[in-house]
Amino acid sequence: MSRSTRAAGHRSAPRASRSRHATHRARSASKAIGLTLVSALIPGSGLVMGGRKKLGAFVLTISIGLLLVGAYVGLTSRDSVLAFAVSPRQLLIATAAVILLGICWIWVVVTSHKLIRPVSMTYTGRLAGSLFVGLLCFGIVVPTTVAAQTVMAQRDLVGSVFESEGNSKSATRPKVNKQDPWAKTPRLNILLLGADDGAGREGTRTDTVIVASIDTKTGDTALISLSRNWMRMPFPEDSPLHKAYPDGYWDPSKGNVEQPEFYLDSMYDNIPKAHPGILGPTDNLGADALKVSVGEALGLDIDYYMQVNLLGFRQIIDALGGITVNVNYKVPIGGDYGAGPGSNTAKKPSGYIEPGPNQKLDGYHALWFARGRYGLDDLSRQERQRCTIHALVNSVNPATLVTKYKEIASAGKKLLRTDIPQEILPSFIQLGLKVKNANVSNVDLDKSKNFPTGKNPNYEAMRELVQEAITKTKPVASTPSSTATKKPSSTTTTKKPKASATPGATQNLNDACAYNPTQSGN
């Protein structure tokens, strides 16, 4: 064989090799773009079509495997998902994993396009392919970034509001089994505090004091409201606060008169100032003092507290898109009597929330719906507060959580303060899901007999009513009504009088929050 023949044979081999690889390439730029889209939707398929069959099969297997595992875990292991969602360490790992998956996805798309596109392309075709790949990569970067930010927002929320037991101090928090916190707790009692530390006010008032008593098996919840102007709030005999106030929280030397500086709503601010450190190491002496006193007044062991800041309350309702409530009478916006703890200069309300069924309120108006009291009595205010909580719980839906989660998490950091430790958050979330689908009712403490004024409430009688109410298995039957818990599009207005609960009985909040324009708020 001549030298020229051998040389020709050697030169032909590379051309054959290039021809074999070229068979995997698209014949036009438009087809390459289409196959690149397929490779983005089914990661690994583009690598297979481009000739990298082993690598493509590996990526394809990993992609399908991740989808199947995610679907399986989401459908069958809700407890594990919820536990994962409230663990700051695992959320940090999840953020890193989301970012890594996004980077790998982009690499797969870019590499697939390089393997699939024709060897020879016009400038226009090459530019079109590059722009399309750029758009695909952008389409991957955006959801990846949003997902990472959402996970980090959740981590920030958990870390900001719920501290670990080792990093927080509480003088009243119970010791529980972290694996099964409710094993020895048939009823969980949580103190809900609405704190008002707004501009122009000295200190912090807890105008809203509600106990949520939850059946840990069923989620059925009884809400018990306490009046802000109660005096002589009691303390257990074994509490250091009982030694400071043996006759309850008031000043006997002033006689049996109204003592605003000894109202229930002043305890949070005044007791820590008068008796710093009286209960021992704690991050929130005011809340611990209230837990001890409220528990004694109602005959309950208060396990935890959740303190709601009014500014954060307004923001979280706006983040949720508002709440829907029934307004039975005009509710004042603003207004001040100019007397009592925390009051400003006397002034009239700046406006009113007008009566009407199924009213959609934004955060500003929802806040005044819950706290407006000028010209109204405390009982109507307490009922509106319970209805606001009821509407808030029922307004949360998966679509809103997905689309507004960062705003909700940001507001949540300003909204809540609590002594619930991180370690038992998964169990709390499970209990919360039960509560959402269970009966939520109101306990009537019988104002006419037990606290016609706030000077000397009959706490012993109230304890008996509370025990009677929470031992009942079912609340008073609900009558069909137009309430905030129903979708506005499917509700009808009812003007029938609400079913009222007898003292000590429970009244379903669907009835308590129904539209009933015969009410006056007094």
- The residue that leads in pLDDT, 483 or 54, is 54
Listed residue (399, 357, 382) closest to 487, CA to CA: 357
Bridging pattern class, strands 356-361 and 323-327: antiparallel
Amino acid letter for position 7: A
Instruction: With beta carbons less than 8 A apart as the criterion, state whether 392 and 277 touch.
Output: no
* pLDDT level of residue 505 (50, 70, 90 thresholds): low
Average pLDDT for residues 127-150, to the nearest whole number? 90
The C-alpha atoms of residue 238 and residue 450 are separated, in whole angstroms, by 25
- The residue that leads in pLDDT, 255 or 335, is 255
Average pLDDT for residues 33-37, to the nearest whole number? 90
Average pLDDT over the chain reads 81
Question: Looking at residue 345, what is its pLDDT?
Answer: 66
Indicate if the pLDDT at residue 289 is higher than 90.
Answer: yes
- Which residues have CB under 8 Å from 209's CB, separation 6+? 191, 192, 193, 194, 225, 226, 228, 264, 265, 290, 294
> The tokens of 273 are what?
């100032």
- The residue that leads in pLDDT, 228 or 276, is 276
pLDDT tens per residue across span 237-252? 999 999 999 999 999 9
What one-character DSSP code corresponds to residue 180?
S
* pLDDT level of residue 132 (50, 70, 90 thresholds): very high
DSSP per-residue codes, 454-520: SSS--HHHHHHHHHHHHT-SSPBPPPP---TTS-GGG-----SPPPPPPTT-EEEHHHHTS--TT--
Inter-axis angle of helices 53-76 and 78-85, to 10 degrees? 100
- The residue that leads in pLDDT, 58 or 342, is 58
The C-alpha atoms of residue 517 and residue 285 are separated, in whole angstroms, by 42
Average pLDDT for residues 303-320, to the nearest whole number? 83
- Which residues have CB under 8 Å from 473's CB, separation 6+? none
Indicate if the pLDDT at residue 513 is higher than 70.
Answer: yes
Indicate if the pLDDT at residue 265 is higher than 80.
Answer: yes
Count the alpha carbons within 13 Å of 191 in the hemisphere toward its beta carbon: 32
Percent of the chain with pLDDT over 90: 34
What one-character DSSP code corresponds to residue 257?
S
Question: Looking at residue 405, what is its pLDDT?
Answer: 62
Indicate if the pLDDT at residue 36 is higher than 70.
Answer: yes
Question: What pTM did the predictor assign?
Answer: 0.68
pLDDT tens per residue across span 106-127? 999 999 998 888 877 788 888 8
Listed residue (157, 481, 224) closest to 328, CA to CA: 481
Indicate if the pLDDT at residue 481 is higher than 70.
Answer: no
Indicate if the pLDDT at residue 473 is higher than 50.
Answer: no
Amino acid letter for position 280: G
Bridging pattern class, strands 440-443 and 323-327: unpaired
Question: Looking at residue 301, what is its pLDDT?
Answer: 94
Question: Looking at residue 414, what is its pLDDT?
Answer: 66
Question: Looking at residue 14, what is its pLDDT?
Answer: 47
Indicate if the pLDDT at residue 493 is higher than 70.
Answer: no
DSSP per-residue codes, 226-248: E-TT--SB---TTSHHHHH-TT-
Of 125-134, 289-298, 377-386, 457-466, least confident by mean pLDDT is 377-386
Question: Looking at residue 24, what is its pLDDT?
Answer: 65
Question: Looking at residue 179, what is its pLDDT?
Answer: 83
* pLDDT level of residue 197 (50, 70, 90 thresholds): low
Report how far Cα 290 is from the mean position of its chain's Cα atoms.
23
Question: Looking at residue 27, what is its pLDDT?
Answer: 67
Instruction: With beta carbons less than 8 A apart as the criterion, state whether 246 and 285 touch.
Output: no
The C-alpha atoms of residue 59 and residue 106 are separated, in whole angstroms, by 13
Indicate if the pLDDT at residue 462 is higher than 50.
Answer: yes
> The tokens of 359 are what?
């009213």
The C-alpha atoms of residue 507 and residue 441 are separated, in whole angstroms, by 5
Question: Looking at residue 471, what is its pLDDT?
Answer: 83
Average pLDDT for residues 136-141, to the nearest whole number? 92
The C-alpha atoms of residue 350 and residue 344 are separated, in whole angstroms, by 14
Sign for the pseudo-dihedral over CA of 252, 253, 256, 259: negative
Question: Looking at residue 360, what is its pLDDT?
Answer: 92
Indicate if the pLDDT at residue 273 is higher than 90.
Answer: yes
The C-alpha atoms of residue 140 and residue 269 are separated, in whole angstroms, by 51
> The tokens of 296 are what?
């004694």
- The residue that leads in pLDDT, 5 or 274, is 274
The C-alpha atoms of residue 61 and residue 43 are separated, in whole angstroms, by 9
Expressed in angstroms, the distance from the first to the final Cα of the chain is 115
Indicate if the pLDDT at residue 134 is higher than 70.
Answer: yes
Count the alpha carbons within 13 Å of 257 in the hemisphere toward its beta carbon: 5
- Which residues have CB under 8 Å from 242's CB, separation 6+? 234, 235, 236
Listed residue (289, 266, 263) closest to 276, CA to CA: 289
Listed residue (365, 369, 293) closest to 331, CA to CA: 369
Average pLDDT for residues 48-71, to the nearest whole number? 90
> Rg of the chain's alpha carbons, rounded to an integer?
32
pLDDT tens per residue across span 412-443? 666 788 999 988 888 888 888 888 788 888 89
3-state helix, strand, coil in the chain (%, to 5): 50, 10, 35
